[in-house]
Amino acid sequence: MLASVPSRPTFKRLPRAVREQQMLEAAVRVFARRGFHAASMDEIADEAGISKPMVYAYLGSKDDLFRACVNQEGTRLLESIVAVVRDDLPADEQLWRGLQGFFGFVGAHREGWAVLYRQASAREPFAADIAALRGRMVEVIAGMLRRAVLASGAEAREPDLTASAYALVGAAESVADWLADHPEADPDHSAARLMNFTWLGARQLLQGELWQPSSA
Amino acid sequence: MLASVPSRPTFKRLPRAVREQQMLEAAVRVFARRGFHAASMDEIADEAGISKPMVYAYLGSKDDLFRACVNQEGTRLLESIVAVVRDDLPADEQLWRGLQGFFGFVGAHREGWAVLYRQASAREPFAADIAALRGRMVEVIAGMLRRAVLASGAEAREPDLTASAYALVGAAESVADWLADHPEADPDHSAARLMNFTWLGARQLLQGELWQPSSA
DNA sequence: CGATTTAGCTACTCTGGAGTAACCCTACGC
DNA sequence: GCGTAGGGTTACTCCAGAGTAGCTAAATCG
């Protein structure tokens, strides 16, 4: 019996699943800092510590690779939110936790956020994916608002719900962008401010109060 | 020479200023529908009814051309707002008119909007310009909010003002994106809904009312 | 009515980077 | 101890598209 030393993991020759994940992480970083076009497959391969043909062998074309990045980061974003929202909570608590999850993701994954929003929403083949993702969020938010309004005994007007949800999602994206550029800022603090800003207004509006132009 | 074949259906030799403007308008359209990278100088020249070297002769490189588009559309956007806001009005009226101007521009210049936001904010050399434009808007909005709060006798907390302004600008951009994809929607209606959504909330928040988590 | 200036063209060059062909190497199964 | 499969590489091909050289011709001027 030989003293069978468990084959020490050399730095080379890793199993496919591991390499694929390394490549994806590298790609997200490069796409985030260069943008889709300026990112070259050579640089991505280099960042992953591998050669270009391996990237093609495992992940396919540049478009395929980018789509994989978008899907991965989009999934992570959604999971960050889903993980903290509980169905049995009142709507305002759900929204609050959703915002915490959202800003938590952005704070911890600034590259992922940049890939998803600064890059993917501007490039035609992928913009549709992001629009769909945003659409799902809008639906979720609108649902929360709807339940909140109904729970308070008021009447829910669908167009107002959708418009409010769009405004809220946009406000969150804007604050997220600001957060991505201010590493010292606290994600939870941003979440709290936005919660305050939107909830008070949404509540009043959806209960029927209206701002009226005082002239013309 | 018998059948001399200049055969140019080209109608006229136009003065430089006119051609430049045609090229800019064409470039905005092509950039908007293809994106910066996928837009080729050939297609832009074609859209303008002119040949490529003319574009280079008048507007310079592709980057120069795109920057010219961004500047033109950015200026138009700002002017749409400035044109309707009056300094002597109360802050809520100013905000209301500003939103009307903003959504009026987006409704009437969907290509310009797409160039400014969907394209320019994602491409590195130009993102800074857009960030600056957005920064000016945030400052303006924060100023309106500040005056409104002071006028109502409350105390203005700067971080809240800035955060609210970011949220409001982001909400407006989001609704504008939605508007750009829904040609049948009425810009004024969008402006009114957003005004309602934000004003009621901002007013309460800035006067000190806070939403509080009901649990942990 | 020549000279000059300005609008305009065709037909190139050249480069960055996506994608690939063809080969190498080592662990493992038998 | 050897065949093979899968992880890995170098060194290409090829093309779209930015940018240019160098020409023609219509206005304008003196």
pLDDT tens figures, B77-134: 999 999 998 889 888 888 899 999 999 999 999 889 888 888 888 887 888 888 888 9
Confidence of residue A125 (pLDDT cuts 50, 70, 90): confident
CA distance A184 to A32: 19
More confident residue, A214 or B199: B199
Nearest CB to B202 within list A127, A166, A197: A197
Say what the pLDDT of residue B181 is.
81
Say whether B29 sits in a helix, a strand or coil: helix
Say what the pLDDT of residue A7 is.
34
Long-range own/partner contacts, residues A20-24 (CB < 8 A, 24 or more apart): A20/A58, A20/A59, A22/A48, A22/A49, A22/A50, A23/A48, A23/A50, A23/A54, A23/A55, A23/A58, A23/A59, A23/A65, A24/A59, A24/A65, A24/A68, A24/A69, A24/A72
**Residue B183 distance to chain A (closest CA, Å):** 16
Residue B186: its chain A contacts at CB < 8 A?
A: none
> Which range has the worst mean pLDDT, A136-150, B6-20, B169-183?
B6-20
CA distance A79 to B96: 37
CA A39 to chain centre: 21
In the numeric block, which tokens belong to residue A178?
Answer: 């600001």
Rounded to whole angstroms, the distance from the CA of residue A123 to the C1' of nucleotide C23 is 37
- Convert the pLDDT of each residue in B8-38 to its tens digit: 344 578 888 999 999 999 999 999 999 898 8
8 A C-beta contact, residue A140 and residue A57: no
Nearest CB to B122 within list A118, A164, A197: A118
Indicate whether A3 pLDDT > 50.
no
**What is the full DSSP assignment across B113-125?**
HIIIIIIGGGSHH
User: Does A157 contact B at CB distance below 8 Å?
Assistant: no
Secondary structure letter of residue A114 according to DSSP: I
Residue A199: its chain B contacts at CB < 8 A?
A: 201, 211
Give CA separation, B208 vs B31, B95, B149, B153, in Å. 45, 21, 10, 11
More confident residue, A49 or B7: A49
pLDDT, chain A, mean:
85
- Convert the pLDDT of each residue in A48-91 to its tens digit: 999 999 999 999 999 999 999 999 999 999 999 999 988 898 88
- pLDDT mean over B162-191: 89
Run of H or E including B131: helix B124-151
* Residues facing strand C, Cβ within 7 A: A 7, 10, 13, 38-42, 52-53, 56, 61-63; B 8, 10, 12-16, 19, 50-54, 57
**Closest among A69, A64, A170, A166 to A125, alpha carbons compared:** A64
Say what the pLDDT of residue A11 is.
54
Q: What residue of A is the nearest CA neighbor of B92?
A: A213
- Convert the pLDDT of each residue in A56-68 to its tens digit: 999 999 999 999 9
Residue A198: its chain B contacts at CB < 8 A?
A: 167, 197, 201
Say what the pLDDT of residue B150 is.
82
In the numeric block, which tokens belong to residue A75?
Answer: 């999934």
Nearest CB to A166 within list B178, B202, B215: B178
CA A161 to chain centre: 22
B71-107 in b/e form (b: 16+ CB < 10 A) is ebbbeebbebbeebbeeeeebbbbbbbbbbbbbbbbb
Q: How many CA atoms lie within 13 A of A132 on its CB side?
A: 9
Rounded to whole angstroms, the distance from the CA of residue B79 to the C1' of nucleotide D28 is 38
> Are the Cβ atoms of A166 and B174 closer than 8 angstroms?
yes
Indicate whether A97 pLDDT > 80.
yes
Q: How many CA atoms lie within 13 A of A202 on its CB side?
A: 32
Residue A211: its chain B contacts at CB < 8 A?
A: 92, 195-196, 199-200
Say what the pLDDT of residue A8 is.
34
Say what the pLDDT of residue A206 is.
63
Say what the pLDDT of residue B205 is.
64
Residue to substitute from B211, B212, B214, B215, interface A, most A β-carbons within 10 A: B211
- pLDDT mean over B64-84: 93
Say whether A37 sits in a helix, a strand or coil: coil
Say what the pLDDT of residue B180 is.
84
**Closest among B32, B93, B31 to B59, alpha carbons compared:** B31
User: Does A128 contact B at CB distance below 8 Å?
Assistant: no
Say what the pLDDT of residue A46 is.
95
CA distance A103 to A180: 10
> Are the Cβ atoms of A118 and B118 closer than 8 angstroms?
no
Q: How many CA atoms lie within 13 A of B25 on its CB side?
A: 10
In the numeric block, which tokens belong to residue B133?
Answer: 């434009």
Residue B194: its chain A contacts at CB < 8 A?
A: 163, 167
**Residue A203 distance to chain B (closest CA, Å):** 8
Indicate whether A111 pLDDT > 70.
yes
